[in-house]
Chain A
């Protein structure tokens, strides 16, 4: 079946703009994770959903970051009033288990804030 799909693949935003990044997880996967990956670094945890419930958002850098998964499937990561330091690759991953053992990653959205 299809893997995790993320869109757009690339996004260029002017500083101050709002952006919305979409993640389509593998059908039936319970858990969904968002990570932020800076160039040459490992992925940094942002937030985690189990079905539609956001169980952990401790990694969101500021209140400009907001994530939702209203029907327990597709998820959207929204960044308001983007700043240059928000430039990174945003990775989405899903897992068939409640606790996220073995994550399946999408190819990511590369966000560049100018």
Chain B
């Protein structure tokens, strides 16, 4: 069963714009991670934010975590065509990583 729910399910923007994806979850977590998946490929780890952190940056990525609302957001700034992919949030409690349904991001040139 999926723990996280991403919103929106699909997002289409112009190259150079910022993309924001949201993730909500239900149970307490130790950390929350974001992954990217290009069509027909495995998932690639992007960033991890721990439950005691509120914001984290990595290059053009910015992740926020609000444990009181059980939600997280991923912001991709200055989007590029190569950012076109599916993005998944994944929550980790005791051990296993539980993924959401994903957001399909399309960057139009």
- Which A residues contact B (CB, under 8 angstroms)? 4, 33, 35, 41-45, 48, 55-56, 59, 91, 93, 99-108
Contacts and interface: CB of A to CB of B under 8 A. Distances in A.
Contact of A102 (B33, B41, B42): B33
Interface in B20-35: 30-31, 33, 35
B43 A103 contact: yes
A44 B2 contact: yes
Contacts of B92: 99-101
Contacts of A102: 33, 45, 48
Contacts of B33: 101-102
B78 interface: no
9 contacts: A33-B96, A44-B1, A45-B97, A48-B95, A100-B97, A101-B33, A101-B92, A103-B97, A107-B40
B100 A42 contact: yes
B96 A56 contact: yes
A46 B1 CA distance: 10
Most buried by A among B4, B33, B40, B43: B43
